[in-house]
Amino acid sequence: MKILSVVGARPNFMKIAPFIRAIEKHNAGITTPIEHVLVHTGQHYDHQMSQKFFDDLGIPPADIHLGVGSGSHAEQVGNTMIAFEKVVMEQRPDWVVVVGDVNATLACSVTAKKMHVKCCHIEAGLRSGDWTMPEEINRLVTDRLSDLLLTPDRLSIENLKKEGAPDGKIGFVGNIMIDTLEEQLEVARGLDPADIVKRNTLHEDAPMPVLEPERYVVMTLHRPSNVDHREIFTALVDFLCDEVAAEMPLLWPIHPRAWKQLQEFGLWERVNGAGNLVLMNPIGYHDMLRLNMTAKLLFTDSGGLQEECTVLGTPCLTLRWNTERPITLWEHGGASVLVGNNVERIREAYREALARDRVPVRPELWDGHTAGRCLQAIIRAGK
């Protein structure tokens, strides 16, 4: 059997790493090993957004790099499809495996199906219900087309069934990101938060805040809904600088999109001048995991961090109005609370979260063995 798996953007890397390891484990000592080809579309290309994760997670170099780079959604998806079609033609895989919900996921699932190649989607069935999110469109199309829909939780199975997916295509495997978390926990535990800040800060000469366990906040922001609108982003920045950083150190690894928008909206000076706010380059997997382990709370609009906070028990204020990962929500036993981007609401939830203790939770099958189940599902489905 020949499997071609695809990565494109940062959140894909922690999902593919354990899958590749599962293939290697399966192949050890077998006479007809699975042939595996890793394709990187190149949507993320900065060292800190891509290669750093290959290094941190021990992902072998991609066999094929499409180099599509940045651009509008149509450009990214279109360029990926054009390049990926040639790869599929040449490689003739039995399966294309896509993960998550980024533009690479959409582009490669569509291309595979148009070339009559079977497609497996790892992390199928997540739905935010918000069709203004590019990721939701990517999820809907990829799931509609895929031959094998491997879900992280039971709520996702219900979503797929409601959309008419036949039972035979659906497999409940658990959350593959948590395989990576389990594998990397010990390495992360060995890191020192102060050293992480020192290595990644934008301002080496600025005085370093003292980082005591459960006495600092971590933040990540990159969704267009938060960073692409001047009024919203400005109000968020004001709240974070004036109220959060005023209380305890606030660590902010800045995503390239947020970086660009801070400059575009004239907020760059403001955030650089704020005391107790540590601006950092995007950080690697181990660094983020370590900071998360003893943060008092996280502000984020990332999907993956909602999941990691749930397993680590870190109170997570999710700067979104909806989530495709309801299992991570407080009302489902998780660590995340949806706070949107209205400052009043964020303030209230922030006060509540400060009073909350860390409560780690394990949703069903988030047990570190998802990748093996994914591979077995593909093998069972056959060539």
Among the listed residues 222, 255, 286, 369, the single catalytic one is 222
Which residue, 256 or 313, is less far from ligand UD1 as judged by CB?
256
Cβ closest to ligand UD1, residue 123 vs residue 368: 123
Binding residue for ligand UD1, selected from 56, 123, 135, 153, defined by CB under 6 A:
135
Among residues 37, 49, 155, 185, the one that binds ligand UD1 under rule CB under 6 A:
49
Long-range contacts of 354-362 (CB under 8 A, 24+ apart): 354/296, 354/297, 356/297, 356/315, 358/214, 358/312, 358/313, 358/314, 358/315, 359/313, 359/335, 360/310, 360/311, 360/312, 360/313, 361/310, 361/311, 361/313, 361/333, 361/334, 361/335, 362/311
- Examine residue 10 and tell whether it contacts ligand UD1 (CB under 6 A): yes
Task: Give, in order, the Cα–Cα distances in Å from 120 to each of 113, 142, 233, 375.
Answer: 11, 9, 37, 10
Interface with ligand UD1, residue 226, by CB under 6 A = no
Question: Which letter does DSSP use for residue 244 in this model?
Answer: I
Distance in Å, CB of 255 to ligand UD1, minimum? 6
Q: Which three-class secondary structure state does DSSP give residue 159?
A: helix
Q: In what order do the strands lie in the sheet with 336-338?
A: 277-280, 250-253, 217-220, 297-300, 316-318, 336-338
Asked if 197 contacts 252 with a C-beta cutoff of 8 angstroms, the reply is no
Ranges within 249-278 binding ligand UD1 (CB under 6 A): 255-257, 260
Structure tokens at 132: 């203004």
Please give the full DSSP string across 2-40, using - where no structure is assigned: EEEEEE-SHHHHHHHHHHHHHHHHHHTT-SSPPEEEEEE
Among residues 261 and 294, whose Cβ is nearest to ligand UD1? 261
Nearer to ligand UD1 by Cβ, of 103 and 310: the residue is: 103
Range 96-115, binding ligand UD1 (CB under 6 A)? 101-103
- The contact mask relative to ligand UD1 for 158-177 (x = CB under 6 A, - = no) is --------------------
CB-nearer residue toward ligand UD1: 145 or 381: 145
Q: Is 2 exposed, middle or buried (0-12, 13-18, 19+ CB in 10 A)?
A: middle
**Residue 70 lies near ligand UD1 (rule: CB under 6 A):** yes
Give whichever of 14 and 378 is closer to ligand UD1, judged by the CB atom. 14
> Which window, 3-11, 208-216, 262-270, 350-358, contacts ligand UD1 (CB under 6 A)?
3-11
User: Considering beta carbons, is residue 193 or 304 the nearer one to ligand UD1?
Assistant: 304
Confirm or reject binding of residue 45 to ligand UD1 (CB under 6 A): yes
> Is 32 buried (19+), middle (13-18) or exposed (0-12) by CB count in 10 A?
exposed
Tell me how far, at minimum, the Cβ of 210 lies from ligand UD1, in Å: 30
For the bound state, the minimum distance from the C-beta of residue 213 to ligand UD1, rounded and expressed in Å, comes to 27
Q: Is 43 a residue that touches ligand UD1 (CB under 6 A)?
A: yes
- Among residues 11, 249, 315, 326, the one that binds ligand UD1 under rule CB under 6 A: 11
Active site residue 222: yes
Three-state secondary-structure class, residue 93: coil
**Exposed, middle or buried: residue 261 (CB in 10 Å: 0-12, 13-18, 19+)?**
buried
Binding mask 318-347 for ligand UD1 (x = CB under 6 A): ------------------------------
**Structure token digits, residue 203:** 């301002």
| Closest separation in Å from C-beta 305 to ligand UD1 | 10
Looking at residue 333, the DSSP 8-state letter turns out to be T
Q: Counting contacts by CB under 6 A, is residue 222 touching ligand UD1?
A: yes
Q: Quick one: tokens of 23? A: 């293939």
Interface residue list for ligand UD1 (CB under 6 A): 9-11, 43-46, 49, 70, 101-103, 134-135, 222, 255-257, 260
> What are the residue numbers of the active site?
222
